[in-house]
Structure 1
Amino acid sequence: MAKKEYTFEEICREIRQKKFLPVYFLMGEEAFFMDQITDLIIENALDESERDFNQIILYGADTDVATIINAARRFPMMSKYQLVVVREAQMLKNIEELSFYVKKPLESTILVINHKYKTLDRRKSLASAVEKVGVLFESKKVPDYKLPGFITSYLQQRGIGIDPKAAQMLSDFLGNDLNKLTKELEKLNLLLSTQTKRITPELVEQNIGISKEYNNFELIKAIATKDVLKANRIAQHFDKNPKNNPIQMTLPVIFNYFMNLLICYYTPDKSDNSLMQALGLKGTFQLKDYQLGMKNYSAMKVFNLIADIRTCDAASKGINNNSASPGELLKELLYRILH
């Protein structure tokens, strides 16, 4: 019986080791991980000479369940496996009918269902059948606070280092569209010399268009230390460059900081390791901002500020706001935070 819960890393590791299961059902809102797994299976399941006769790529909008089942029930020609990949499977009608095949799949077929932006009802027969014989993987969005860790891990797998500040700058500026984010990382990789395989804030500033002095990373440091002058300088820079520094990107960063600060207050053990575990941090460099924050802000102040940030976010979207610009809203919020 197949394991019921697989992580992205486990799936990729087994694929590289040529350990295949009969069915991979990839679903969820984050397309990046599903496409990575699908492409990795295509690269590793068959040799190039085997693909002409043993690889079938179908698209949900142009096929149906009966065609997929018929393709999956074929036997490979001069190969151990045949590979059937269904892309855009969310477009399929009556997808639950795939369970008729999945309950008794061929061991010689690797069936990959790439089902983006939607998930199966786990109470129904298809999800249950997949879990018994293969991989049912739900690809979830990476939360904003985990993006720097994702960036660092993605680059480490490619033998590239990155400064923590540079990872945070990229996270804040590019957001959690992983396809867009990884494309920018690959661009930066091309600019690195063979001797220095490390991405620095200076490299990001020069090639992505993010100021290494005026960004959300530095704003959080200013908030943590209650550096009023620095925070207002950054806010003024943002106001003059709204295209590169929209308030809709800044407010979630501030919100996450104070939500994490609240987690720190409610963590019984305030040791470095316990706080890092509670916050999901991999490095101590970010922890300092939270430790400073606990010194400079009371728990009640943090609780009230979270409400203020929500109000500011609503106002930035035009709710109960007739005239204040995004720059004015951010400056008013920073005044509430720092005074």
Structure 2
Amino acid sequence: MDLKQAFREIKQGNIAPVYVCYGTEAFLMNEFVERLTESLIEPEHREMALIRFDTGDTALSVILEEAQTLPFLVPHKIIIVRDSVLFATGKPSSRVEHVPEQLLSYMDEPAESTVLLFVVPYEKLDERKKIVKTAKSKHQTIAFTPLPAEELIQWMTKRATAQGRTLDRDAAEELLKRIGTDMQAIVTELDKLCLHAGVAGLVTIDAVNELVPIAAEQNVFRLTEMLATLRTEQAITIYHDLLKQREEPIKLMALLVRQFRNMLYIKELSGQGHSPQQIAGQLGLHPYAVKLTLEQAHRFSQERLAALLSELAELDYAMKTGQVDKVFGLELFLLRTGSAGAS
């Protein structure tokens, strides 16, 4: 089932007896669970009507027994099951044994007063399993994947509007650049900006620059941008700012390695004709991050990126064995790299 359709169904009161929610976008998944809960359970009944299990330590037979038991003093109950065993790919990590056939039987005749919701925090389900095929055939699976940048901006705009504020387009784009695409982090900063703007106020790019700190990962992205364009002084300024924020040089180096490695991978895959969406799927990155990294990768040759990764590996060893001072070792790397540029 499509996520937008699932939200529409809940709004219309069409609730399915079983849901299998999977994906890496935890914020949207939590929002879905909350909407479902609001539609079925009164706030004062939540303690009795919301039940949680984990297939890692509770047998499926126990979960299904609870599902088939009539709710106590409330018309409906929701059973939320965190699952890394029944639907997920990979080796099951459970201390108990499960009999998937029991769930297959339950899906054919589910309890009318119970909504059984499985939360699978993995990018994909195991399509080889009969239990997955059955859930898909009954339109009970919902994928929670990261929103594309444009949809994220639309979602941010709607959230600001719901609070009686207007979100400037440039402000939304700058917010994404500063904190990335994590929806929970966006909510925290956007709500703060709306509060600052006041009733019927406008959230501007100036407010974002003033009130929203740049995440370490995003600062490292900016740092590599400075190195690529020979703006060494600005790169060193960013580095010193990160040190003032008590960021560890070894952590910053690890982030640099990840960024250069992503650039190398993205450059190679792009050269093979893969689209940004396909690259995002292969590397487990947000499409927006792939788009920005691809723009940055165009400034570096593959040979230069490979050489930088080799140099960082040597520096990592030297820093961790005490041969080089951590702070000055990384600063010297930035100075050398900035002077040489991306060629």
Using the TM superposition, give the Cα deviation of residue 178 of structure 1 relative to its aligned residue in structure 2, in angstroms: 4.4
Q: Which amino acid in structure 2 is aligned with residue 233 of structure 1?
A: Q
Residues 65 and 217 of structure 1, relative CA distance in 2, 3 Å threshold: closer
Look up the match of 1:327.
Answer: 331
Q: Which amino acid in structure 2 is aligned with residue 157 of structure 1?
A: K
Q: Is the 8 A contact 2:22 2:143 kept in 1?
A: yes
Residues 49 and 164 of structure 1, relative CA distance in 2, 3 Å threshold: closer
Look up the match of 1:308.
Answer: 307
Find the aligned partners of 1:263 and 1:77 in 2 and give their Cα distance.
Answer: 56
Q: Is the 8 A contact 2:148 2:287 kept in 1?
A: no
Correspondence 1:233-248 to 2 at 5 A: 233-239=234-240, 241-242=242-243, 243=246, 246-248=252-254
Confirm or deny that 1:135 pairs with 2:140. yes
Using the TM superposition, give the Cα deviation of residue 168 of structure 1 relative to its aligned residue in structure 2, in angstroms: 0.6
Look up the match of 1:169.
Answer: 178
Using the TM superposition, give the Cα deviation of residue 40 of structure 1 relative to its aligned residue in structure 2, in angstroms: 2.0
Correspondence 1:215-254 to 2 at 5 A: 215-216=219-220, 218-219=222-223, 222=226, 226=229, 228=230, 230-239=231-240, 241-242=242-243, 243=246, 246-253=252-259
1:100 to 100, 105, 111: 105
Residues 198 and 240 of structure 1, relative CA distance in 2, 3 Å threshold: closer
Find the aligned partners of 1:315 and 1:179 in 2 and give their Cα distance.
Answer: 36
Q: Is the 8 A contact 2:263 2:297 kept in 1?
A: no
2:36 to 18, 38, 41: 41
Correspondence 1:10-89 to 2 at 5 A: 10-48=5-43, 55-60=49-54, 63-74=58-69, 82-89=76-83
Deviations 1:125-146 (A, max 9, x none): 3222222224223545x4xxx7
Q: Is the 8 A contact 2:220 2:256 kept in 1?
A: yes
Q: Please, what TM-score do these two structures have when normalized by structure 1?
A: 0.67
1:110 to 91, 109, 115: 115
Residues 233 and 48 of structure 1, relative CA distance in 2, 3 Å threshold: closer
Q: Which amino acid in structure 2 is aligned with residue 18 of structure 1?
A: G
Give the RMSD, CA atoms, in angstroms: 4.5
3-state DSSP of counterpart to 2:201: coil
Find the aligned partners of 2:142 and 2:303 in 1 and give their Cα distance.
Answer: 39
2:213 to 209, 212, 226: 209
3-state DSSP of counterpart to 2:301: helix
Find the aligned partners of 2:204 and 2:120 in 1 and give their Cα distance.
Answer: 34
Q: Is the 8 A contact 1:56 1:83 kept in 2?
A: yes
Using the TM superposition, give the Cα deviation of residue 32 of structure 1 relative to its aligned residue in structure 2, in angstroms: 3.0
2:189 to 184, 197, 222: 184
Q: Is the 8 A contact 1:58 1:87 kept in 2?
A: yes
Q: Please, what TM-score do these two structures have when normalized by structure 2?
A: 0.66
Percent identical among aligned pairs is 17
Q: Is the 8 A contact 1:267 1:275 kept in 2?
A: no
Q: Is the 8 A contact 2:301 2:342 kept in 1?
A: no
Find the aligned partners of 1:311 and 1:12 in 2 and give their Cα distance.
Answer: 48
Q: Is the 8 A contact 2:22 2:142 kept in 1?
A: yes
Confirm or deny that 1:193 pairs with 2:198. yes
Q: Which amino acid in structure 1 is aligned with residue 234 of structure 2?
A: R
Q: Is the 8 A contact 2:232 2:339 kept in 1?
A: no
Residues 63 and 293 of structure 1, relative CA distance in 2, 3 Å threshold: closer
Residue segments in structure 2 that go unaligned for 5+ positions in a row: 85-93, 162-166, 281-285
3-state DSSP of counterpart to 1:241: helix
Residues 155 and 267 of structure 1, relative CA distance in 2, 3 Å threshold: same
